[in-house]
């Protein structure tokens, strides 16, 4: 039950975030174009983090970075 | 018995290092889905050290190049090496494992464990979206892995919404020298990412992930010890041969001031082995000047145990494991990042070019499990991960 409550909470947060957004015009995206606003701006770096965690923790996925085929599952 | 466990465990240390970092991520999720990655060359030197005695160095090199107006290709090479010193200090061949000798090195009992990974990929603009396909092959003396990953990203609502669908398929083969078998594992992963621009300073992302795997899930270098008739008997760990894994994550990135961004994320994971986990993360990136950007991040992770994990087994059971990552526990991680942008350091040869950036990263990772690790006999793992890299955009 606790698990499903958390899932609902995450989905609710996402829904609230998406429904509350206003259209941002292309010329208004100057701040968003900053490299520090990009999720996983360096995919190699993100992959390194993801992999050593994969081998030391029992869960994978849900992070945005892709991993697999490593014999660590 | 402790000595026996320590000696057997020494083999596992080597294996743990050998499979470290077998796959990097295949792609990033850009802000704009219809953009191709920049032409760039990236060379990074990475290292890993922990209190279990594992030390690894793994240089990586990647190259990305646009081909025409609508395509881009990338190639990557990675090699990871366990330092000879750490292997010699921890590796003891014994009769229990019956490790075989190999004169040319690279065997389970030789201090030159090397893994190589080759990656080749392509991105192509299709309509308004971007299709990416990546192939990766990894090989070492007792393990091989082939992965094919494909994603398609498509923007909506004046590029304020991006939907990305991902499929990853892996074929792994394990052929440890201490066992007389070869086994495989197949993995299917699908993911759905939705990235939404919320306002001029805020981006949110939702991530759904499902993974199904079948085949060998256990580490062949681990040993389950059971006392039978006053003697210690070693058994291979046995995990279920199928696993269904699901995860959902939400993260947000908020730009405040003109020079700083705060990223926060939460993630929930669950599978049919009864492992559930909850992760929170937060990082702050700040432009100190045009020349330097620093970052500080913190991550916390909490996990439950797999239903068949036990501290001790009184008798052989259908499923048995000593794998710490299937135990109940938690981890915390602290990260520091520094990026120096070229063009602002005239006296430094590498950074005199404004298209070049120097990246430094240091992570401190701490994990604690409910049960002491089966060979190190400690509940705590400390790891230090460092990387230093050059990124040159053409």
- The DSSP call for residue B216 is -
CA distance A1 to chain B (A): 12
**What percentage of residues in chain B have a pLDDT greater than 90?**
63
Would you state the pLDDT for residue B385? Answer: 94
Within-domain flag for B129? yes
Would you state the pLDDT for residue B25? Answer: 37
Highest mean pLDDT among B29-38, B227-236, B242-251, B373-382: B242-251
In the predicted structure, residue B92 carries a pLDDT above the cut 50:
no
- From A18, A24, A34, A14, select the one nearest B200 (Cα to Cα): A24
CB pairs under 8 A between A and B: 254
Within-domain flag for B92? yes
In the predicted structure, residue B120 carries a pLDDT above the cut 90:
yes
Nearest CA in chain B to A8: B248
Within-domain flag for B393? no
Structural domain range at position B176: 4-269+309-325
* Count of domains forming chain B: 1
In the predicted structure, residue B28 carries a pLDDT above the cut 60:
no
Bridge partners (DSSP) listed for residue B382: B366
Would you state the pLDDT for residue B103? Answer: 36
pLDDT in tens, B366-394: 999 999 998 888 999 999 999 999 999 88
Residue with tokens 């086994």: B183
pTM over 0.90: no
Would you state the pLDDT for residue B185? Answer: 95
Would you state the pLDDT for residue A2? Answer: 66
Rounded to an integer, the average pLDDT of B246-257 is: 93
- From B127, B169, B139, B140, select the one nearest B26 (Cα to Cα): B169
Residue B221 sits in a domain whose CATH number is: 2.40.160
Longest distance between any two alpha carbons in chain B, whole Å = 73
In the predicted structure, residue B260 carries a pLDDT above the cut 50:
yes
Q: Does A7 touch chain B (CB under 8 A)?
A: yes
- CB of B165 within 8 A of CB of B196? no
Positive or negative, the Cα torsion across A46, A47, A51, A57? positive
CA distance B148 to chain A (A): 9
Domain ranges of chain A: 1-57
Does B85 or B19 have the greater pLDDT score? B85
CA atoms within 13 A on the CB side of B388: 2
- From B75, B270, B185, select the one nearest A70 (Cα to Cα): B185
* ipTM higher than the 0.90 cut: no
Picking from A10, A65, A73, the nearest residue to B250 by CB comes out as A10
CA distance B252 to chain A (A): 9
Would you state the pLDDT for residue B45? Answer: 93
**What percentage of residues in chain B have a pLDDT greater than 70?**
84
Give the Cα separation of A13 and B136 in Å (integer). Answer: 36
Mean pLDDT over the full length of chain B:
84
Under the banding of pLDDT at 50, 70 and 90, the label for residue B106 is: very low
Q: Does A15 touch chain B (CB under 8 A)?
A: no
Would you state the pLDDT for residue B112? Answer: 55
Give the Cα separation of B279 and B295 in Å (integer). Answer: 20
Picking from B42, B147, B245, the nearest residue to A60 by CB comes out as B245
pLDDT in tens, A2-59: 666 766 676 666 666 665 556 788 888 888 888 899 888 887 778 778 877 888 898 8
State how beta strands B143-156 and B161-174 pair: antiparallel
For A:49-68, CB contacts with B below 8 A are 49-53, 55-68
In the predicted structure, residue B71 carries a pLDDT above the cut 60:
yes
CA distance A52 to chain B (A): 6
Contact criterion met (CB < 8 Å) for A64 and B147 = no
Output the six-digit token pair for B377. Answer: 């006999």
Picking from A25, A41, A61, the nearest residue to B28 by CB comes out as A41
- From B235, B151, B140, select the one nearest B195 (Cα to Cα): B151
In the predicted structure, residue B175 carries a pLDDT above the cut 50:
yes
- CB of B328 within 8 A of CB of B303? yes
Reduce the DSSP state of residue B328 to 3 states and report it.
Answer: coil
- CB of B57 within 8 A of CB of B80? yes
pLDDT in tens, B335-351: 999 999 988 887 777 78
Would you state the pLDDT for residue B257? Answer: 80
Would you state the pLDDT for residue B146? Answer: 95
């Amino acid at each position: 039950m606790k698990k499903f409550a958390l899932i609902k909470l995450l989905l609710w947060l996402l829904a609230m975030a998406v429904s509350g957004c206003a259209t941002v015009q292309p010329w208004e995206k100057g701040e968003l174009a900053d490299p520090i606003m990009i999720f996983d701006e360096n995919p190699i770096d993100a992959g390194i983090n993801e992999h050593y965690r994969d081998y030391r923790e029992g869960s994978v996925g849900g992070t945005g970075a892709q991993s697999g085929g490593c014999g660590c599952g | 018995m402790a000595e026996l466990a320590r000696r057997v465990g020494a083999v596992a240390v080597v294996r743990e290092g050998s499979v470290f970092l077998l796959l990097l991520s295949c792609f990033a999720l850009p802000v704009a889905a219809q953009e191709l990655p920049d032409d760039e060359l990236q060379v990074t030197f990475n290292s890993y050290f922990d209190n279990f005695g594992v030390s690894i160095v793994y240089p990586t090199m990647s190259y990305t190049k646009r081909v025409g107006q609508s395509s881009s290709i990338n190639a990557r090479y990675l090699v990871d090496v366990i330092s000879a010193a750490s292997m010699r200090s921890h590796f003891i061949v014994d009769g229990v494992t019956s490790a075989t000798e190999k004169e040319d090195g690279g065997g389970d009992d030789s201090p030159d464990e090397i893994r190589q990974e080759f990656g080749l990929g392509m991105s192509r603009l299709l309509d308004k979206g971007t299709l990416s396909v990546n192939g990766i092959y990894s090989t070492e003396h007792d393990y091989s892995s082939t992965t094919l990953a494909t994603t398609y990203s498509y923007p909506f609502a004046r590029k304020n919404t991006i939907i990305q669908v991902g499929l990853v398929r892996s074929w792994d083969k394990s052929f440890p020298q201490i066992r007389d078998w070869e086994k495989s594992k197949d993995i299917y992963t699908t993911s759905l990412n939705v990235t939404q621009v919320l306002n001029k300073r805020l981006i949110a992302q939702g991530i759904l992930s499902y993974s199904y795997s079948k085949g060998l899930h256990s580490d062949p270098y681990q040993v389950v010890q059971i006392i039978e008739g006053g003697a210690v008997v070693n058994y291979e760990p046995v995990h279920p041969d199928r696993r269904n894994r699901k995860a959902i994550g939400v993260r947000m990135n908020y730009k405040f001031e003109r020079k700083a961004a705060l990223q926060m994320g939460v993630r929930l994971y669950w599978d049919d082995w009864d492992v559930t986990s909850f992760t929170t993360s937060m990082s702050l990136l700040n432009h100190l000047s045009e020349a330097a950007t620093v970052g500080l991040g913190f991550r916390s992770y909490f996990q439950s145990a797999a239903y068949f994990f036990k501290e001790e087994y009184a008798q052989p059971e259908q499923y048995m494991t000593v794998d710490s990552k299937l135990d109940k526990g938690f981890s915390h991680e602290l990260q520091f990042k520094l990026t120096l942008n070229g063009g602002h350091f005239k006296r430094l040869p590498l950074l005199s070019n404004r298209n070049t950036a120097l990246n430094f990263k240091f992570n401190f990772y701490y994990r604690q499990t409910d049960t002491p690790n089966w060979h190190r006999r400690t509940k705590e793992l400390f790891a230090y991960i460092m990387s230093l890299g050059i990124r040159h955009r053409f």
